[in-house]
Amino acid sequence: MTTSYLFAGFGGQGILFAGKLLAYKGLTDGKNVSWLPSYGPEMRGGTANCSVIISDDDIGAPIVLEPDVLIVMNNPSLDRYENDVVPGGTIYVDSSLIGRKVNRTDVNVCYIPATALASEKGLDGLANMIIMGKLLSDEDQLGGESLEKALKKCISARHADLLKSNYDAMMLGSQQ
């Protein structure tokens, strides 16, 4: 079993972080994982995307061209990657930032007003984690030890105060 994920949005939205959390969770679950960021001269505000593969088998190409799951947090990313998703795959859309609907009819779509929810609940900057909460609960992977471990791996000890808010954001997402 191999699942490929593509996260895409603007730099600064936590795209790479969300992918990293998923990869760490996969590692903690004893899976093979790979995480590959786009890299470029823009450090903030440009486009950002990352490929994550979680697999029971050896992973070949780490570049996700046809994702099983697409997570998009801005319009250009939806425009660019919508048609790449495998039929029967899933697209998670931050509907507070993306005005349009997904055109495809052969994929599952989940609209979450993540950015709006985040500012409403005082979780600014954690829209990515709200979507992650929804994604993980859809996959029945929310809760449990491995997620907690993964979160601790991704958030350095000196930012330990952020653990709770990240967790809260995921819980909020799971209720959507």
Partner 1 sequence: MADKVLMKGNEAIAEAAIMAGCRHYFGYPITPQTEIAAYMAKRMPKIGGTFLQAESEIAAINMVYGASAAGVRAMTSSSSPGISLKSEGISYIAGSDLPAVIVNAQRGGPGLGGIQPSQSDYFQATRGGGHGDYHMIVLTPASVQEMAELTIHAFDLADEYRMPVMILADGTIGQMMEPVSFDFDIKPAPEKPWATVGTGMKRPHNVVNSLYLNPAELEQNNFDRFKRYEIIAEKETMYEEFMTDDADIVLAAFGIAARVSRNAVLAARKEGIKAGLIRPITVWPFPKAPFAKAADHCSSIISVELSMGQMIEDVKLACECRVPVTLCNRVGGMIPTPNQILDAIRAAAKGGK
Which CB, 63 or 160, lies closer to partner 1?
63
48 near partner 1, rule: CB under 8 A:
no
Residue 11 engages partner 1 in binding (rule: CB under 8 A): no
Q: What's phi and psi for 31, nearest 5 deg?
A: -95, 165
Beta bridge partners of 37: 50
39 binds partner 1 (CB under 8 A): yes
Query: x/- contact string, 149-168, with partner 1 (CB under 8 A)?
Result: ----x---------------
Q: In terms of DSSP H, where are the helices of the chain?
A: 15-28, 75-81, 114-120, 127-138, 145-154, 162-174
CB nearer to partner 1: pick between 33 and 102: 33
For residue 84, the minimal CB distance to partner 1 (Å) is 11
37 belongs to the binding site for partner 1 (CB under 8 A): yes
Which one of 61, 119, 160, 175 is in contact with partner 1 (CB under 8 A)? 61
Encoded tokens for 156: 């350095």
CA distances 63 to 7, 34, 113, Å, are 12, 9, 28
- Least CB distance to partner 1 at residue 1 (A): 15
Query: What is the dihedral angle through the alpha carbons of 33, 38, 42, 46, rounded to the nearest 10 degrees?
Result: -100
